[in-house]
Amino acid sequence: MDLDHFVRSLPKAELHLHIEGTLEPEMMFELARRNGVALPWDSVAATRAAYAFSDLQSFLDLYYAGAAVLIHEQDFFELALAYFERAHADGVVHAELFFDPQTHTTRGVAFATVLDGLERACDEAQARWGISSRLILCFLRHLSEDEGLSTLAQALPHLARIHGVGLDSSEKGHPPSKFARLFARCRELGLHVVAHAGEEGPPAYIVEALDILGVERIDHGVRAAEDPALLERLAREQVALTVCPLSNVKLCVYPTLAQHTLGQLLDAGLKVTINSDDPAYFGGYVAQNYIDTAQALGLTRAQLKRIARNSLEASFVPEGLRAPWLERLDAMPA
């Protein structure tokens, strides 16, 4: 079996995926036309050509501009359904989708419009392809904690449809501790909690996310590689890291994939997973992330199976759902 087929056959969960980051330029232009929204680029090709980022912020500026075309429930539905179709082709059996309500509510789009469209796509994906999914509300860390608390208030009537919360956007200068009260409230509400930490920010942000926010997984976390004591802790506590290799190269966290620390994290015994982050902007969906990383770092098939297993184990699903996926995975050749 060639590598491409092997990777796509591995039952896997995608745990770090911003649904707004799956907006392909073709759909961006179609929605801009349909909704009468002006874009800063004049063609699909010019948009793709602008995807040359120097850091996280240079990407986020463009990503928020693109998200402005999403207005109606149907837009969010089509966006998420297109993602699920690609995820299915990549062997994803379960996806935990991040969404950024503040990116939309600040433009006058109702919270329920976003959630209704995404939820309808989740139901459709289950019916069409048997993919299970969960929705994780991410707070934008460049905004204030009070703004996060008012977003949580808007989410309260919908909590049955929201599985967890996360923290994303500009990391530097916005430490996890800025959101201590907000995350304490989310934990009291019984929500799962995760946070981006150690993507561009220092290893100390990973420690804060664990100790102050009480997160169950770390999104990215790759800068843990700089801190031996933290590596030892993450391995001991088996905290899952949702690593996004192509994203890290596109945003210049590492100069090339061959210099990525994923192999070092795996060797240190960390619960590493591979994910796509914002695949429409970073050059590949989840299977491409597995394949390119395996080729650049010389990962074995046993290691790729281990990574897929980690993703299923670290997902927020009941054991009854997880067990059949693990059985399928175990039956794969190594």
The residues that are catalytic are 199
What is the maximal distance between C-alpha atoms in the chain?
Answer: 53
Is the Cβ of residue 98 or residue 183 nearer to Zn ion in the bound state? 98
The reply on whether position 103 binds ligand ADE by CB under 6 A is no
Near ligand ADE in 276-295, by CB under 6 A: 277-278
Those residues with Cβ within 8 angstroms of residue 306's Cβ, 6 or more apart along the chain or in another chain = 266
How many binding residues for ligand ADE (CB under 6 A)?
A: 10
Give the one residue of 17, 277, 281, 292 binding Zn ion; rule: CB under 5 A: 277
303-328 burial, b at 16+ Cβ within 10 Å, e below that, comes to bbbbbbbbbbbbbbbeeeebeebeee
What is the Cα 172 distance to its own chain's centre?
18
3-class DSSP state of 2: coil
C-alpha to C-alpha distances, 86 to 97, 141, 315, nearest whole angstrom: 14, 29, 19
The reply on whether position 20 binds Zn ion by CB under 5 A is no
Is the Cβ of residue 6 or residue 290 nearer to Zn ion in the bound state? 290
DSSP string, 253-306: SSSSGGG-SHHHHHHTT-EEEE--BSHHHHT--HHHHHHHHHHHHT--HHHHHH
CB of 241 to ligand ADE, least distance (A): 13
The reply on whether position 200 binds Zn ion by CB under 5 A is no
Let me know: does 225 contact 265? Beta carbons within 8 Å: yes
Is the Cβ of residue 119 or residue 277 nearer to ligand ADE in the bound state? 277
The reply on whether position 22 binds ligand ADE by CB under 6 A is no
Distance (Å, rounded) from C-alpha 249 to C-alpha 99? 23
Near ligand ADE in 220-259, by CB under 6 A: 247
CB of 300 to ligand ADE, least distance (A): 27
The reply on whether position 90 binds Zn ion by CB under 5 A is no
Give the one residue of 6, 15, 21, 39 binding ligand ADE; rule: CB under 6 A: 21
Q: Amino acid identity of 87?
A: A
Interacting stretch for Zn ion, rule CB under 5 A, among 43-51, 269-277, 285-293, 315-323?
269-277
Distance (Å, rounded) from C-alpha 149 to C-alpha 227? 32
Of these partners, ligand ADE, Zn ion, none, which one is at the site of residue 21 (CB under 5 to 8 Å by kind)? ligand ADE
Near ligand ADE in 260-279, by CB under 6 A: 277-278
3-class DSSP state of 14: strand
CB of 5 to ligand ADE, least distance (A): 29
171-198 burial, b at 16+ Cβ within 10 Å, e below that, comes to beebbbebbeebbebbbeeebbbbbbbb
Those residues with Cβ within 8 angstroms of residue 216's Cβ, 6 or more apart along the chain or in another chain = 192, 193, 194, 239, 240, 316
CB of 200 to ligand ADE, least distance (A): 8
Those residues with Cβ within 8 angstroms of residue 280's Cβ, 6 or more apart along the chain or in another chain = 21, 22, 23, 24, 25
Of these partners, ligand ADE, Zn ion, none, which one is at the site of residue 96 (CB under 5 to 8 Å by kind)? none
CB of 187 to Zn ion, least distance (A): 21
Near ligand ADE in 110-139, by CB under 6 A: none
Is the Cβ of residue 113 or residue 169 nearer to ligand ADE in the bound state? 169
Near ligand ADE in 151-170, by CB under 6 A: 168-169
Is the Cβ of residue 217 or residue 305 nearer to Zn ion in the bound state? 217
Near Zn ion in 117-146, by CB under 5 A: none
Sign of the Cα pseudo-torsion (21, 98, 205, 227, in order): negative
CB of 18 to ligand ADE, least distance (A): 4
The residues that touch ligand ADE, with contacts defined as CB under 6 A, are: 18, 21, 56, 168-169, 196, 199, 247, 277-278
